[in-house]
Structure 1
């Protein structure tokens, strides 16, 4: 690879590679030390094409979710089976991997600017800005940038646009799917909200079992399915459809809490 080769967004790949290596080493213990990340679906990652893949996921923190995905996806591509053991996979990371994030978030500090260089496609949110609800038009340059990233590689997006669970999915994701016809891979995560602060920068609690389930690509009729039909399909796939909300009987809730205690990971004898 030429030393100063750039990606379509003008980022120097040599610098990006070293940022992924360093940040990966700094964050690995968050998922394989302080807490444990349980993974399911590594074989799906290895079977995906090199380009035009869109990962859709529920969202629990600003950054910890996507950092975990960078770990899991790179570990899977380097032969790990549902594991991020041995950080040697960071030496040769996938460089054409991107994630969608709010532009205002990625401009806030030096750290967020570094994280943006690693692979952010920064977009202007149409519904919220600076903590206030807004109503503004979609920037076509944002849509085209996502298309550019898909043409180059893989894109991770959180279609709810918020870390609050059960919120409706933004229809822009369905429009992107219909326009660019990517392979759509659902990802369901859990445990990150309990183990990290909202931004996902600090470990809030140790001994939490985090989970990431990578599902089979969705079957989508890009030309004939409507935006609403695709949105509903995504909601079910990432387990955020309103039907998942139901009243849980007290005995079932208590049984869940007991099961959760058993799932809590604690250090054991080597």
Structure 2
């Protein structure tokens, strides 16, 4: 491989490789040491095609969720079932792995800008900007960049577009699924908002059992299912459909809502 080989977005692959190695080594103990990441379903990862795979997940922190996925995916591809023991899997990481992130988040400081090089596809939120509700048309360049990333490899997205639980799934993800027909793999995570601050950069509490469940790819009729049907299928798959609230006690929901307010990161 040429030293100056680039991905479709112009990023030098050797630089991306070293960034993943370094940040992977720095963050490994956050999931296997200070806390314990309990993984289920990682045997699915090696069976997936090399390109056009879309991972959908609930969201709990800005960065810790994605970093955990980089760890789990690379460990799984190196034959580690449901574990990220031993960091050797970081030496030759998967380089065609991308994640969708809000443009304003990735520009908020030097570290997010550096992390962006590891694979961020930055998009403009159509419903919120700088803490205010807005209404904005979808930027066609954002959709095009997701298409390019899917053609090159795997893409991680958080279809609710927020770290708050049980918020509606945005229709944009369903449109992408219908248009580009990727293999859609759901992931359900928990414990991250208890382990880290809202940005997912500062370790807030140790000894937390974090869960990371990879589910089989969704069965989707890309041509005949409606956007609304796909949205509902996503909500159930990542366990964020409103019906899940019925099995959570009201008192527990109230406490969680209060904690969400306390976790809000202010610029």
Q: TM-score, normalised by structure 1?
A: 0.92
How many angstroms apart in 1 are the aligned matches of 2:131 and 2:241? 25
- Partner residue of 2:161? 161
Runs of 4+ residues deviating >6 angstroms = none
How many angstroms apart in 2 are the aligned matches of 1:132 and 1:2? 45
Q: 1:75-224, aligned counterparts within 5 Å? A: 75-224=75-224
- Partner residue of 2:9? 9
Query: CA RMSD of the aligned region, Å?
Result: 1.4
- Partner residue of 2:26? 26
Render the CA deviation track for 1:88-122: whole Å, top value 9, x for unaligned.
00000000000000001111111111110000000
Unaligned runs of 5+ in 1: 254-270
How many angstroms apart in 1 are the aligned matches of 2:145 and 2:241? 28
Deviates more, 1:117-126 or 1:239-248: 239-248
- The SS at the match of 2:94 is coil
- Partner residue of 2:258? none
Unaligned runs of 5+ in 2: 254-267
CA shift, 1:249, in A, is 6.3
Count of aligned pairs between the two proteins: 252
How many angstroms apart in 2 are the aligned matches of 1:249 and 1:78? 41
CA shift, 1:237, in A, is 0.4
How many angstroms apart in 2 are the aligned matches of 1:248 and 1:89? 38
Q: 1:6-85, aligned counterparts within 5 Å? A: 6-85=6-85
Greater CA radius of gyration, 1 or 2?
1
Q: TM-score, normalised by structure 2?
A: 0.93
Deviates more, 1:19-28 or 1:241-250: 241-250
Change in CA separation of 1:108 and 1:227 when aligned onto 2, cut-off 3 Å? same
For the pair 1:239 / 2:217, whether they are aligned, the reply is no
Render the CA deviation track for 1:108-146: whole Å, top value 9, x for unaligned.
111111110000000000011111111010000000000
How many angstroms apart in 2 are the aligned matches of 1:168 and 1:40? 26
